[in-house]
């Protein structure tokens, strides 16, 4: 069962909730409004760390940006 992040359009409250398949849409725990929008959430995946790091570029030598040389304003 996934956990979704929401922002309430009525009061601006941001919260996350566990959403089960056939349950009614969630409501804001602060104002009980139902005008919600799903937020874009990040997720984590567990994998072989050595394989992941071998595909990444080396950090920028000027600032250390993980995107590699040319990913920042210093290169």
d(CA 4, CA 43): 11
The number of distinct structural domains making up the chain is: 1
Contact indicator for 14, 39 with CB cutoff of 8 Å: yes
Judge whether 31 lies within some domain.
yes
For residue 29, give its domain range: 3-41
Judge whether 56 lies within some domain.
no
Given this model, what pLDDT does residue 69 score?
65
- What pTM did the predictor assign? 0.51
d(CA 43, CA 27): 23
Judge whether 33 lies within some domain.
yes
Judge whether 61 lies within some domain.
no
pLDDT tens per residue across span 13-54: 999 988 777 677 789 999 999 999 988 776 666 666 555 555
d(CA 54, CA 47): 13
> Over 50: is that where the pLDDT of 75 sits?
no
71 confidence band (pLDDT: 50, 70, 90): low
Judge whether 12 lies within some domain.
yes
């Amino acid at each position: 069962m996934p956990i979704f992040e929401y922002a309430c359009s009525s009061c601006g409250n941001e919260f996350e909730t566990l959403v089960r398949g056939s349950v009614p849409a969630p409501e804001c725990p602060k104002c009980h409004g139902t005008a919600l929008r799903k937020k874009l959430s990040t997720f984590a995946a567990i994998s072989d760390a050595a394989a992941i790091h071998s595909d990444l570029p080396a950090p920028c030598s000027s600032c250390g940006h993980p995107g590699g040389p040319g990913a920042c304003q210093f290169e």
